[in-house]
């Protein structure tokens, strides 16, 4: 168990506002990325990047979203693509987590403020094991990205006659983009050219799933993969919920798009299965697509809206309201229906504070999506199904699109920028960062209850 902090450190903990510094850190890196993308060297010869497009791209990269208003592969130069890749990696690590790593390398130790910032951003439950957690995050990220980069580079070089240099660059770019659940691609049609290639598709899916599990889950599975009875409640919820959602998503896309001539219709059944699984994985909040999303049926869009809104697991590279939030709410409902006094999950009692957090996250996220969807419909005149898909994709940092992003008016694109930012830092973190001060209530009011339902 973690030892309690000394009195002077507890006092400092009450004064510091980690969420505000995380908020400012993301703003500063976004501003730096925007400035770099505005440089003439960041754009391909003959092209030009205006402020809105640079801001949108920088935010999308740092928030590991993948929504684009220009074609990444043709509009940006190699320098611009490197800037985007660095922003993706920073977004996946976490700005404050990366700063903490730099502090470790330079100073060899962590101040309490650095520990608080990194623990808040990494969703760590304590400060004692923070050093090993951060180093574990770096190690896991680099190893998975390196393995995937080798696989993709070899396949592109040997199977698609791409030069070795281009294959290494493309393989490395898409490996970082995949593990960080970013979905940025160097091809104008994303991964549609590899729709039937399992050597490309399945490794990308594996990296996306691992990134979406969250670093604490990956680290625990690495140590105790063969002893599930020793897994924490968090790990069990994440593994169970992720598996169920992947299967349900694959089945839904396969069933709804089976005969669609613009998507799965012309494919053989193995290709249909691979494409359906690939797109189901992308709803974990990566943004690649191997079929034309704009040609999918509105029913499929709606199902994908739900999957994207849920997203992946906390403390990883995925977005959304997180699978743990949805699982907690489902268990609360089941407990209420059964008439039990406490919410029990996998043999453990759930803290009542978690109830409030889950409800707050869902209500804040749902409200944001509804408000922005309505505003974008008013500004653009586009139909609800397409606008809702775009809005959920932005908030959940997914990056899938029906193709309307570049068509939105400037104000609409700025709204998506804000939504991506909120989605990445989290709605509660964002709201807390805007709060002028923390309030501690020293009294309780008498209880009374309204009629519910």
- Number of independent structural domains in the chain: 1
If you search the block for the tokens 């932005």, which residue do you land on? 394
Domain presence at residue 9? no
Domain presence at residue 344? yes
If you search the block for the tokens 């281009």, which residue do you land on? 166
Residue environment code for 45-68, b if the CB has 16+ CB neighbours within 10 A, otherwise e: eeeebeeebbbbbbbbbbbbbbbb
- CA 449, distance to chain mean position in Å, is 38
Domain presence at residue 5? no
Print pLDDT tens along the chain (453 aa).
Answer: 445 545 554 454 444 455 666 677 788 889 999 999 999 999 999 889 999 999 999 999 999 899 999 999 999 999 999 999 999 998 887 654 654 454 444 444 555 455 555 555 455 545 455 666 677 778 888 999 999 999 999 999 999 999 999 999 999 999 999 999 999 999 999 999 999 999 999 999 999 999 889 878 888 888 888 888 888 888 999 999 999 999 999 999 999 999 999 999 999 999 999 999 999 999 988 989 999 999 999 999 999 999 999 999 887 788 899 999 999 999 999 998 988 888 888 888 888 888 888 898 899 999 999 999 999 999 999 999 999 999 999 999 999 999 999 999 999 999 999 999 888 877 666 655 555 455 566 777 787 878 777
Residue 71 belongs to what domain range? 16-110+133-434
Sign of CA dihedral 234, 235, 240, 246: positive
294-322 tens-digit pLDDT: 999 999 999 999 999 999 988 778 889 99
The C-alpha atoms of residue 251 and residue 268 are separated, in whole angstroms, by 16
Domain presence at residue 220? yes
The C-alpha atoms of residue 325 and residue 157 are separated, in whole angstroms, by 42
CA distances from 237 to 133, 202, 245, 281 (A): 20, 24, 12, 18
Helices (H) and strands (E) in the chain, counts: 19, 2
pTM, entire model? 0.86
DSSP conformational letter for 346: T
Tokens of 130: 């923070």
Q: Are strands 344-345 and 348-349 parallel, antiparallel or unpaired?
A: antiparallel
Instruction: List 43's β-bridge partners, or say none.
Output: 76
259-292 tens-digit pLDDT: 999 999 999 999 999 999 999 999 988 989 999 9
Compute the residue count for the chain.
453
Domain presence at residue 415? yes
The C-alpha atoms of residue 215 and residue 284 are separated, in whole angstroms, by 15
């Amino acid at each position: 168990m973690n030892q309690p902090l000394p009195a002077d450190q507890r006092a400092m903990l009450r004064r510091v506002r980690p969420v505000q510094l995380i908020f400012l850190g993301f703003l500063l890196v976004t501003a730096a990325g925007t400035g770099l993308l505005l440089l003439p060297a960041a754009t391909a010869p003959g092209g030009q990047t205006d402020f809105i497009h640079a801001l949108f791209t920088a935010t999308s990269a740092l928030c590991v979203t993948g929504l684009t208003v220009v074609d990444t592969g043709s509009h940006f130069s190699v320098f611009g693509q490197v800037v985007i890749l660095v922003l993706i990696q920073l977004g996946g690590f976490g700005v404050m987590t990366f700063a903490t790593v730099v502090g470790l390398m330079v100073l060899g130790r962590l101040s309490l403020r650095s520990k608080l910032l990194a623990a808040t951003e990494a969703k760590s439950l304590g400060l004692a094991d923070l050093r090993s957690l951060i180093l574990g995050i770096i190690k896991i990220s680099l190893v998975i990205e390196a393995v995937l980069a080798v696989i993709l580079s070899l396949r592109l070089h040997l199977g698609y006659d791409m030069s070795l240099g281009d294959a290494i660059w493309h393989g490395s770019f898409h490996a970082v983009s995949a593990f960080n659940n970013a979905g940025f691609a160097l091809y104008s049609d994303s991964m549609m050219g590899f729709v039937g290639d399992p050597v490309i598709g399945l490794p990308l899916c594996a990296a996306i799933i691992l990134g979406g599990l969250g670093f604490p889950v990956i680290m625990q599975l690495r140590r105790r993969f063969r002893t599930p009875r020793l897994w924490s409640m968090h790990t069990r919820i994440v593994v169970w919920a992720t598996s169920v959602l992947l299967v349900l998503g694959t089945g839904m896309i396969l069933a709804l798009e089976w005969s669609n001539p613009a998507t799965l219709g012309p494919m053989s059944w193995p290709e249909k299965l691979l494409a359906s699984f690939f797109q189901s994985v992308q709803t974990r909040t990566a943004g690649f697509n191997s079929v034309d999303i704009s040609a999918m049926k509105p029913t499929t869009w709606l199902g994908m809206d739900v999957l994207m809104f849920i997203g992946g697991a906390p403390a990883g590279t995925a977005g959304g309201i997180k699978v743990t939030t949805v699982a907690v709410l489902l268990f609360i409902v089941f407990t209420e229906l059964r008439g039990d006094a406490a919410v029990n999950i996998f043999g453990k009692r759930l803290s009542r504070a978690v109830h409030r957090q889950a409800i707050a996250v869902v209500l804040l996220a749902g409200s944001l999506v509804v408000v922005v969807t309505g505003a974008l419909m008013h500004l653009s005149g586009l139909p609800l199904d397409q606008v809702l898909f775009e809005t959920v994709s932005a908030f959940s940092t997914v990056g899938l699109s029906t193709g309307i992003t570049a068509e939105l008016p400037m104000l609409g694109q700025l709204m998506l920028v804000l939504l991506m930012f909120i989605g990445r830092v989290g709605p509660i973190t964002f709201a807390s960062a805007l709060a002028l001060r923390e309030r501690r209530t020293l009294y309780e009011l008498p209880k009374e209850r309204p009629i519910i339902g």
